[in-house]
Amino acid sequence: MRGARDVRALVERGLVSADDAPALEAVVERYALLVSDYYLSLIDPADPACPIRKQALPDAAELVVAPEERSDPIGDAAHAPTPLLVHRYPDRALLFPTFRCPMYCRYCFRKVAINGEPIRLRQALDASLDYLRAHPAIAEVILSGGDPLMLSDDRLGELLGRLRAIPSVRRVRIHTRFPVTLPMRVDASLASLLAAHRPLFLVTHFNHPRELTPASALALRTLVDAGVTVLNQTVLLAGVNDDASVLAALFTGLLEHQVRPYYLHHPDLTVGTGHFRVSLDRGLSIARALRGRLTGLAWPTYVIDIPGGGGKVPVDSDFVRRGDRPGHWILRSPLGGEHLYVDPAHRD
Ligand SMILES: *Cc1c(COP(=O)(O)O)cnc(C)c1O
């Protein structure tokens, strides 16, 4: 997994011009760069608007911070009983076994947490498992991060075993981008380890049909053949996939691999990600263009995470309604309360 870790490596590969390098080095000082050789190989070097490039390579626009943008856009910190746990909903909690990834996605909503102070993982993990034992209403643990498959099979197996030993934890979900960014990680021994811990749901993160390569198809088949249920979440990203036919190709392409689209996420108000943002109007018009055109199996729920920690709500539902001014929306939280959401200046 050598990959590219600095701007020089991108210049050497002809993906970035030497003239652009100094501006990008300033970006990478704030938000780490890491892209696997595999994912780099998917970039079309002749296309400056390549959707793979946009997700993986730094952009000077990341240093622009709009007033509504936050370092903790969905309010994880307000619901974090330990540095590795987020408990927002009564029945489920997120657990971060690592803050590292095989690739740092440029639009990541945890990009500030991921680039923050290192945490003493072992100690915090023990405290997190104690919390789960003390809160038996938590029936589902969602491993996220960071990418949980950064753990070796041995460490992952140990963690899954410790979770299973808590009687109230009935199922585990793993949120991972490895099948997209470094599919070779997913081999038969990982798949059988995961299958041994069923009920276990693996949620991948494909954003563009060009990510459905033979290597990622093999990773998905390895999981599915072992008996792991695989779902996918996509983030709606300007210039990457904010287009009904791109999303249609992605969602039906996933079904070809026995993967069910689960969520389409409206982009969060994360610092330095304004260049990826799409308005709610645009998202809804894409969703409506796909409604009726795609089998229901292919269509995920389009959700927005209420800024500050109100939780996720379906956009096309009465949780989301227009305010009294253009671009103003009222988001009603399932946890109680309402939130005014103002669409930031957008591209369309
Ligand atoms: C997104 C999220 C979940 C999972 O929500 P589902 O709607 O069940 O997929 C759980 N906890 C937190 C804190 C979340 O942000």
Residue 55 near residue 107, CB atoms below 8 Å: yes
Question: Which residue owns the Cα nearest ligand 1 atom 8?
Answer: 92
Domains of the chain: 1-63 (no CATH), 66-317 (3.20.20.70)
> Nearest CA to 312 among 297, 327, 331, 296?
331
312 lines ligand 1 (CB under 6 A): yes
Q: What angle do CA 280, 104, 309 make, to 5 degrees?
A: 45
Average pLDDT score, the chain: 95
Cα distances (Å, whole numbers) of residue 314 to 98, 115, 152, 282, 318: 29, 30, 35, 15, 8
Give the distance (Å) from ligand 1 centre to CA of residue 206. Answer: 18
Number of Cβ atoms within 10 Å of the Cβ of 77:
12
Which amino acids are annotated catalytic? Answer: 88-89, 92, 101, 105, 108, 110, 268, 305, 312
Q: What b/e sequence results for 113-141 when a residue is b if at least 16 CB atoms lie within 10 Å of its CB, and e otherwise?
A: bbeeeebebeebbeebbebbeeeeebebb
Q: Which two tokens stand for residue 315?
A: 């956009």
What does the alpha-carbon distance between residue 342 and residue 67 come to, in Å, rounded to a whole number? 12
> Nearest CA to 89 among 337, 332, 311?
311
Given the CA of residue 94, which atom of ligand 1 is nearest to it?
11
* H or E stretch covering 92: strand 92-95
Residue 4 near residue 13, CB atoms below 8 Å: yes
What pLDDT was estimated at residue 346?
A: 44
87 lines ligand 1 (CB under 6 A): no
94 lines ligand 1 (CB under 6 A): yes
255-301 tens-digit pLDDT: 999 999 999 999 999 999 999 999 999 999 999 999 889 999 999 99
133 lines ligand 1 (CB under 6 A): no
Q: Calculate mean pLDDT across residues 144-158.
A: 96
**Confidence band of 117 (pLDDT split at 50, 70, 90):** confident
What pLDDT was estimated at residue 345?
A: 66
87, 91, 94, 263: residue to mutate for ligand 1 pocket, most atoms within 8 A of CB = 94
| Residue 266 phi, psi dihedral angles, 5° rounding | -65, 140
197 lines ligand 1 (CB under 6 A): no
pTM of the model: 0.96
Given the CA of residue 79, which atom of ligand 1 is nearest to it?
13
Give the distance (Å) from ligand 1 centre to CA of residue 333. Answer: 13
Q: Calculate mean pLDDT across residues 117-123.
A: 82
**Confidence band of 116 (pLDDT split at 50, 70, 90):** confident
What pLDDT was estimated at residue 87?
A: 96
What does the alpha-carbon distance between residue 177 and residue 58 come to, in Å, rounded to a whole number? 18
Residue 15 near residue 44, CB atoms below 8 Å: no
DSSP string spanning 162-184?
A: HHHTSTT--EEEEE--HHHH-GG
Question: Which residue owns the Cα nearest ligand 1 atom 13?
Answer: 88
Please identify which residue in the block is written with the tokens 């979440």.
233
142 lines ligand 1 (CB under 6 A): yes
Q: Calculate mean pLDDT across residues 178-197.
A: 98
173 lines ligand 1 (CB under 6 A): no
Please identify which residue in the block is written with the tokens 């791109």.
246
Task: Reply yes or no on whether the pLDDT at 15 is more than 50.
Answer: yes
Question: Which residue owns the Cα nearest ligand 1 atom 6?
Answer: 312
